[in-house]
Each structure stands twice: as structure tokens, then as C-alpha cells.
Amino acid sequence: MIDSYLSLKEHAIAKITRKKSRFIALLYPITSEEEVPGILEEVRHAYHDASHRCYAYRLMGESSPIVYTNDAGEPSGSAGGPIVAQVEGEKLYDVLAVVVRYFGGKKLGLGGLIRAYADATKKALSAAAIVERHREVKLAITFPSEINSRVMGLIHRHPVRVEEVAYDDGGRVLIAIPPSRVERFTQELKDATGARAHWEEEL
């Protein structure tokens, strides 16, 4: 798992014209597939008179990217694929890209459509603000009170963020740690405490 990735800071828009057909590219930062239908419904209402509303999204999955494309009635492979290819080319994740087309009366042909959808998306991406998002894994660590100093000492030697500390019959610490450091940290925690500290991932 990677520790950080690039995404959109905010919504972006760009417009191009090809043989009197107008293409409006709309970019949205998203965090899950569940957000997509609501955004598409907003686009449908805002551009209800458009000929096509093609889209694609690319999300950072747990083990691999989640990618989906929809040509929305355009010839297969002429819209969704070119749209997401531009997002991939910029190495972005958690992005929904919608390109709205108003038909201008002249057919563009398959090659022309591919270029138009790609160019509209590319123009919107060039105007978009890009941010770096950091990934974290949350671990809840429990341990007997007498090994508190060993646990906390180890935590302070790693690039972790402590979210919560509580003491009752024993200690409990909730930390956020970069994914790439989890294996090393938990092994060192096991070694430092003689396996007396226990942890589990919290979602």
C-alpha cells in the first residue's frame, strides 16, 4: 500500500468545441463509488438538454485502483476510455470526470470523438488544483500498565499520530500510521513488549 497519492483539491471545469459540438468537462474529487450517482444526477439536471453525459472515475482501492467508464450512448470506447486515460496520465486518484456533449450537427467520427473527449478532460485537468492525500491505518493497541513506557517509547520513535490515550485496568492507545510502516511497527511492538501488547486495525 502506498502512503500518499495525488487527487483534486476541488471541482474543476473546462470547455472545448469541435465542429460545432460543445464539450464541457467537469471534474469532481470523490472518496467512494457511493458518491457517484448523486453527482451524476446533479449533472443530469444541470445539463438536461445535452446529447451525451459520458463519465469515468478512478479511485484508490485497498490493493489496486478502482476504475469505471461509461460511454453513455457514444460509440464503444470513444468517451469513457479516453476520459479516464487522461486522469491516469496525471497519476490522479479519487476523481470523477464527466464530459457533457452538445451535438453540433456534424459527426466527428470515432477518432474525432476520442480526441474530443480526451482533450476536454485534459483541459479541465490542466486548470485543476492538485493536492497530495495521505493514507493512514488506525491501530488500537492495548497493553498492561507496567509496560507503558516500552509501548509509548516505541510509538514516539515512529512516524505515527496518536489520536487517543486511555488508562483503566491497562493502557489503550489509538494511533494512525502510514500503511508502509505497519508491518515494521507491529513487529517491533511485539519484540519490545514480549508479545504482551496487542493490536487490531480499526476502520
Q: Where are the beta strands (DSSP E) in 60-160?
A: 66-70, 95-102, 130-134, 137-144
Is it true that domain 136-202 has CATH number 3.30.70.240? yes
Q: Where are the domains of the chain?
A: 4-133, 136-202
> Mean pLDDT in each 10-residue stretch from start to end of the chain (203 residues)?
91 95 96 95 96 96 89 92 96 97 89 95 96 94 94 93 92 94 95 94 86
Residue-level pLDDT at 105: 84
Residue-level pLDDT at 39: 96
CA distance 8 to 132: 8
Q: Using an 8 Å Cβ cutoff, are 43 and 101 in contact?
A: no
Per-residue burial over 74-89, b if 16 or more Cβ lie within 10 Å, else e, is beeebbbbbbbbbbee
- Per CATH, which fold does 4-133 belong to? Ribosomal Protein S5; domain 2 (3.30.230)
Residue-level pLDDT at 117: 96
pTM, full prediction: 0.81
